[in-house]
Amino acid sequence: MSFNEFSGPVPHSIANFTMLQHLNFSYNKLNGSVPNQGAFRNLSATSFLANPGLCAASGWLNLPNCTSSDKNHDALNTNILLVASISTFFALCCILGAFYIFYRRIKRAPIIDSLFGQGFMQISSQELHKATQGFSAANLLGNGSFGSVYKGLLSDKKLVAVKLFDRDPQNSYKHFVRECRVLRKIRHRNLVKVLSSSSAGDLRALVLEFMSQGSLEQHLHRAELQCSLSLKMMVNIALDVAHGMAYLHHDCSPPVVHCDLKPSNVLMDETMTAHVADFGISRLLMSPVSASSSTSRLKGTTGYLAPEYGLGGEVSTKGDVYSFRILILEMVTKKRPIDGMFSGDNTLPRWVRSAFPEALEGVVESGQRAAG
């Protein structure tokens, strides 16, 4: 420790270093008293050479005797260190407290504000109320697990779909944030495009492209629309959905698992191009083969959810592949996987498999009869 221009008192805590044998404080600018207890008993006069400000009791280590002023100086230095330490501690607490409050206020902002960056429309909650006529039932397009979708007409005469999340403080924000995180990362012609978002008070909404031709479910199961899908159109819709899901699984970083692929979440625009929608329960994968969380709280749709998810298995792209398989079978047979004819061990996939290949034509024909 010698020749280091150290200043201030000798730390009295050194007395507690019971294994200390040698220590050299010489040629510094130390001041105050040197104790004669504990480890200091192992030191010699050469340990404190050329420190004019040092003193000791009764000529200990050949140092000058400490006067009352020296002791007061030691006490003053100790008090200064104590006050400085306490002040630093409280200052640190204040800084951490201020940071925590600031973080609490803005933790939602990075996700929400990111949707208002370059390329996104700026829409206020007041304009959304006006565009949907106060979210009136007349503009309701459909209901989902976590909210409702309304048709809206903006001030520039642009038609949009406004997804209003349920005003449930425990769940709505979580699903709103999840959908924002996914939608801000993806850009594909077969995925519904987000135009903007709004979060004011307890109102949380996403502004999406308006799909004028409704959902695939409507075309499959509504009597007035059932005859509108030709075989060529169904093949094109299946390809559109496959392209969108392939993009989520293989071209996004990290990959995205939709977790709720079904006909009601496949929407068609004016050209009957299919777009996958509703990312409220989607998951971002940490790696191509495993998810960031298990399915213990995954709420998918009965009939479309992969069987392994019911056992708490990890979310994976294979689950979406299973849902896509059910969606294709439903398109061909016009049978929902929860149709009354399916009970016990009899499921939509098993029904089709049992008819393959000899009786497959009857399965398809039954679907066409349901459509006609």
DSSP secondary structure, 34-96, as one string: ---SGGGGG--GGGGTT-TEEEBGGGGGGPPBP-HHHHHHHHHHHHHHHHHHHHHHHHHHHHH
Report residue 302 as tokens.
């009965």
Q: CA dist 58 to 33, 44, 46, 66, 224, Å?
A: 11, 15, 17, 8, 109
| CA gap 36, 194 in Å, rounded | 76
- φ, ψ for residue 291, nearest 5 deg: -100, 165
Which entry of 70, 74, 240, 260 is annotated as an active-site residue? 260
Report residue 240 as tokens.
């559109």
Number of H helices, E strands in the chain: 9, 13
Edge-first strand order for the sheet with 7-8 is 7-8, 29-33, 53-55
| CA gap 74, 230 in Å, rounded | 95
Answer yes or no: 269 catalytic. Answer: no
| CA gap 218, 207 in Å, rounded | 22
As beta bridge partners, residue 56 has 65
User: Which residue, chain included where needed, has tokens 């709420």?
Assistant: 299
Catalytic residue IDs? 260
